A and B are shown apart, each in its own frame.
Chain A
Amino acid sequence: MKKADRIFALIGLGLSCWLILESRKFDYMTTYTPGPGFHPLWLGICLALLSLALLVDTFRRKGGTVDEGNRLPGEKSLFRVGLILLFTAGFALSMTTLGFVPTVLVFVFLILYVLEHYPLFKSILYSCIMSGTIFLIFRYWLNVDLPKGWLGL
Chain B
Amino acid sequence: MHGFALVLTPYNLWMAVVGCFFGTIVGILPGLGPSATIAMLLPFTFGMSATPAMIMLCALYYGAKYGGSTTSILINVPGENASVVTTFDGYQMALQGRAGSALGISAIGSFFGGILGTFGLIFIAVPLAEFSLKFGPAEYFSLIIMGMLTIVFVGGQSIIKSLMSAVLGLSVGVVGTDVVQGAPRFVYGIPELMDGVSFVVMVMGVFGIGEVLVSAEKRVRMGSIKVPFSKLMPSLSDLVQSKWAMLRGSVIGFIIGVLPGAGSTIASFISYGVEKSCSKHPELFGKGAIEGVAGPETANNASCSGEMVPLLSLGIPGSGSTAVMLGALMLYGLRPGPMLFTTNPDFVWTLIASLFVGNIILLIMNLPMVPLFAYTLRLSYSILYPAILLVCIIGVYSVNNSVFDVWTMLIFGVAGYFMKKYDIPGAPMVIGLVLGPILEQSLYRALSLGHGDITVFVTRPISAVLLGIAAVMTVAVLFKQVKMMRKEIREESP
Contacts and interface: CB of A to CB of B under 8 A. Distances in A.
A30 B181 CA distance: 9
Label chain A's interface by main secondary structure: helix
Contacts of A22: 185-186
Interface string A65-80: 0000001010001101
Contact of A33 (B387, B417, B444, B485): B444
Interface stretch (B90-98, B160-168, B313-321): B160-168
A40 B451 contact: no
A36 B382 contact: no
Nearest to B216: A84
Contact of A73 (B171, B217, B407): B217
Interface in B164-211: 164, 167-168, 170-171, 174, 178, 180-181, 183, 185-186, 209
Given A4-B422, A54-B164, A142 B447 contact: no
A123 to B, nearest CB: 11
B167 A107 contact: no
Interface stretch (B31-39, B119-127, B393-401, B468-476): B393-401
A119 to B, nearest CB: 13
Contacts of A132: none
A145 to B, nearest CB: 6
Contact of A50 (B160, B383, B390, B418): B160
Interface residues of B, number: 61
B390 to A, nearest CB: 6
A34 B219 CA distance: 52
B186 A33 contact: no
B470 to A, nearest CB: 14
Contacts of A89: 410
Contact of A26 (B185, B217, B418): B185
A98 interface: no
Contacts of A44: 171
Interface residues on A, range: 35 or more
A57 B482 CA distance: 12
A122 B48 CA distance: 36
A122 to B, nearest CB: 10
Contacts of B43: 142, 144
A5 B383 CA distance: 34
A43 B181 CA distance: 19
A81 interface: yes
A107 B424 contact: no
A142 B174 contact: no
A51 B185 CA distance: 23
18 contacts: A4-B418, A8-B424, A30-B181, A33-B447, A33-B448, A36-B181, A47-B164, A50-B163, A71-B422, A81-B217, A85-B413, A88-B393, A88-B410, A108-B390, A112-B383, A130-B390, A134-B394, A145-B401
